Amino acid sequence: MATDYNAFITEATIDGADDGPLAGTTVAVKDNISTEGVRTTCGSEMLADYVPPYSATVVDRLTEAGATVVGKANMDEFGMGTTTETSAFGPTRNPADPERVPGGSSGGSAAAVAAGEADLALGSDTGGSVRCPAAFCGVVGIKPTYGLVSRYGLVAYANSLEQIGPIAGTVEEAAAALDVIAGPDPNDGTTRDLADVEGADPDASYAAAADGDVDGLTIGIPTELFEGADERVVETVEAAIADLEGRGAETTEISLPSVEHAVQAYYVIAMAEASSNLARFDGVRYGARADSDGNWNESFAETREEGFGAEVKRRILLGTYALSAGYHDKYYEKAQDARAWVRQDFKEAFADVDVIASPTMPVPPFELGESLDDPLRMYLADANTTPVNLANLPAISVPAGEADGLPVGLQFVGPKFDEETVIRAASAVEER
């Protein structure tokens, strides 16, 4: 029997249309993306029995395009983690090395694809949650520009940062899935119609952009995202970039000083938004409810004590703290300044380069249990992915090779709504 990686929380089938661009393909859907009639747990005890009465826009688009949903993928509870170990349904194992984590928070999605249990997967990326597991499992993951893909039906963690993105075995397959899920949705007012976006191509075909042609492409190499990374990871990524130079790409060193503050800004903003978003889980309209004799406030507090795991409580409490009187200006306002600075840094960099390349993760996959007791250590692993969410940009993680037998991901970041360029660059890495 094949190894059980615990990639799925629920195995259930939602049939796709008979024909369409994704006919015959199977897809794993992260368990924070609503599926009508199929329980959607967010990896939490709180929603262990929650069955959505409607499907997310992205799920409808996939099934209408012919894809069949085969299950709901395991994840860090409410997307809060970098290892998929904070799931209430047990950790997912990395198919590349079952003693190691698959990354997170969309670890089940990436593991399902890497293990061949699904052709495609959907994840959600708030601070790297699609790209990190793609890198750790040796598959491809795309974090779209904020506003390209509808979040309707995605259970919110940090609205201003997150996007749903595809994971697949190849760049072209991931891009083809993006072709299907991208586009405006009246149910998500933050989605954009590319016809209204200056410089964007409303007729973009992402799959067609996976042509491997990097001749004349200018790649920016930000020193800040290589410093401090594991030497084996850096060597693998640099070798892949050197190959692209051999195919006509030019590289140039750039500096993004603001990214030194990205992890701090990301966690303050994400925790603040989480503390507000997760206030809805009080056990009244949906979700588990504690057996309490107390009043309204006591009952809610007991429900939330029982329903949430430690990492979720940590983030709700820290977010509440960062927004509370006396600390709002010190943490939240400064984090918003840092966010604006990161955005400005990238904007200036893209005046000179077409894409920016770095390791996706500064470290190889952790061993199971290695980072669980040290949340700050886990947060620091998000150094290279969080700047992208703060700046609302598109990015992709593509396998660059292996270090000591473990997958290493290369991340390309592009200007807003220029998914085609990051896809093109990534497809060239794949063709090496």
What is the C-alpha to C-alpha distance for residues 208 and 420, in angstroms, rounded to an integer?
9
Cβ distance to another protein smaller for residue 298 or 404: 298
* Contact between 302 and another protein per CB under 8 A: yes
330 belongs to the binding site for another protein (CB under 8 A): yes
Tokens 């396998």 sit on residue: 399
Interface with another protein in residues 40-69 (CB under 8 A): 49-51, 53-54
Which member of 17, 20, 211, 286 binds another protein (CB under 8 A)?
A: 286
> Distance (Å, rounded) from C-alpha 12 to C-alpha 18?
18
Chain position carrying tokens 């993680």 = 397
Amino acid at 236: T
* Residue tagged active-site, from 87, 129, 150, 358: 129
Asked if 102 and 93 count as a contact pair (C-beta separation under 8 A), the reply is yes
Per the structure block, which two tokens stand in for 404?
A: 């000591």
What is the token pair recorded at 279?
A: 């206030």
Return the half-sphere exposure (C-beta side, CA atoms, 13 A cut-off) of residue 290: 19
* Candidates 169-177, 217-225, 316-324, 420-428; binding stretch for another protein (CB under 8 A): 316-324
* From 34, 44, 105, 109, the catalytic residue: 105
Of the candidate spans 22-30, 59-67, 323-331, 353-361, the one that interacts with another protein by CB under 8 A turns out to be: 323-331
Would residue 324 show up in a list of annotated catalytic residues for this protein? no
DSSP symbols for 161-215: T-EEEEEESSHHHHHHHHHHHBS-BTTBTT---GGGSTT--TT--TTTT-S---T
Q: Which of residues 231-270 bind another protein (CB under 8 A)?
A: 257-258, 260-261, 264-265, 267-268
Q: Is 283 in the site for another protein (CB under 8 A)?
A: yes
Of 80 and 338, the one with the shorter C-beta distance to another protein is: 338
143 is an active site residue: no
Return the number of other C-beta atoms located less than 10 Å from residue 203's C-beta.
6
User: CA-to-CA distance for 410 and 429, rounded, in angstroms?
Assistant: 9
User: Is residue 336 at the binding interface for another protein, with CB under 8 A as the rule?
Assistant: yes
Residues within window 164-193 making contact with another protein, judged by CB under 8 A: 186, 189-190
Phi, psi of 235 (to 5 degrees): -60, -45
Spatial neighbors of 218 by CB under 8 A, at least 6 apart, are: 249, 250, 251, 252, 352, 353, 354, 355
339-358: contacts with another protein (CB under 8 A): 340-341, 344-345, 348
Residue 28: Cβ within 10 Å count = 29
Instruction: Please count the residues of this chain forming the interface with another protein, following the rule CB under 8 A.
Output: 64
- Taking the complex as a whole, the smallest distance from the CB of residue 227 to another protein amounts, in Å, to 16
In terms of CB distance, is 247 or 289 closer to another protein?
289
95, 5 contact by CB (below 8 A): yes
Q: Does 313 bind another protein (CB under 8 A)?
A: yes
Q: Which residue in 89, 346, 379, 417 binds another protein (CB under 8 A)? A: 379
* Cα–Cα distance for residue pair 262/7, rounded to 1 Å: 30
Q: Which one, 188 or 235, has the nearer CB to another protein?
A: 188
Looking at the chain, the number of H-run helices and the number of E-run strands are: 12, 11
- 331 makes contact with another protein (CB under 8 A): yes
Residue span binding another protein (CB under 8 A) among the ranges 137-145, 228-236, 296-304, 398-406: 296-304
DSSP label at residue 367 = B
- Orientation angle between helical segments 262-277 and 310-323, nearest 10 degrees: 100
358 as an active site residue: the answer is: no
Q: Is the Cβ of residue 239 or residue 380 nearer to another protein in the bound state?
A: 380
Residue ranges in contact with another protein by CB under 8 A: 49-51, 53-54, 186, 189-190, 257-258, 260-261, 264-265, 267-268, 275, 279, 282-289, 292, 294-302, 304-305, 308, 310, 313-314, 316-318, 320-322, 324, 330-331, 334-338, 340-341, 344-345, 348, 375-376, 379
